[in-house]
Amino acid sequence: MRPRPLSTPMNRTLDHRNLAMLLLEARETLMGLFRPILKEFALTEQQWRIIRVLDGEPAHALEAGQIARRCCILSPSLTGVLERMERDGLITRTRAQEDQRRLLVSLTPQSRKLVTEIGPRIDEQYRQLESRFGQDGLEDIYRALDRLIELGGNA
């Protein structure tokens, strides 16, 4: 299938393809690879994003606002997600020793175990993506998305 040219109008009043919609479609396609894995472990996409971000954090703890930004979850939604995760034993919320006003979220041994169980399966999906696109193709996608995000930060 040949990609449509960048300037192919999508309707009569706009001159460019709807990049935001294409990114949403790409996200849905990509998440279709991962949702069955998350479902098997009774995790939502939001919960997995939080676990993955905390697992990648050297201190293994972040404030809720930091999690909201890194996981692209609105703060009001994040509150409920964190409450459910704490109830389910996936995270703990503790006051920072140096500043009792700061509430830190960290992973529990249960969620760390989930990472070791789910991680290889997630990695396998990425290996399959790489086999379809090639290593250079996948790196091109990463670079293009990183650049787009960087441009957005400078807007």
Q: Render 83-127 in DSSP notation, one character per residue.
A: HHHHHTTSEEEEE-SS-TT-EEEEE-HHHHHHHHHHHHHHHHHHH
Mean of pLDDT over the chain: 90
Residues 6+ apart with CB under 8 A from 36: none
Bigger pLDDT: 144 or 7? 144
Q: Specify the pLDDT at position 44.
A: 97
Query: pLDDT exceeding 90 applies to what percent of the chain?
Result: 75
Q: Specify the pLDDT at position 97.
A: 80
pLDDT band at 3 (very low <50, low <70, confident <90, very high): low
Q: Is the pLDDT of residue 95 over 90?
A: no
Element (H, E) at 61: strand 61-63
Domains and CATH numbers, the chain: 43-153 (1.10.10.10)
Instruction: Find the distance separating the first CA and the last CA of the chain, reported in whole Å.
Output: 34
Q: Specify the pLDDT at position 6.
A: 55
Q: Specify the pLDDT at position 139.
A: 96
H helices of 41-74, in order, are 45-56, 64-71
Supply the pTM of this predicted model: 0.83
Distance from the Cα of residue 51 to its chain's centroid: 10
pLDDT band at 154 (very low <50, low <70, confident <90, very high): low
Whole-number Å distance between alpha carbons of 143 and 122: 21
pLDDT digits (tens, 9 = 90+) for 44-74: 999 999 999 999 998 889 999 999 999 999 9
Tokens in use for 41?
A: 């472990």
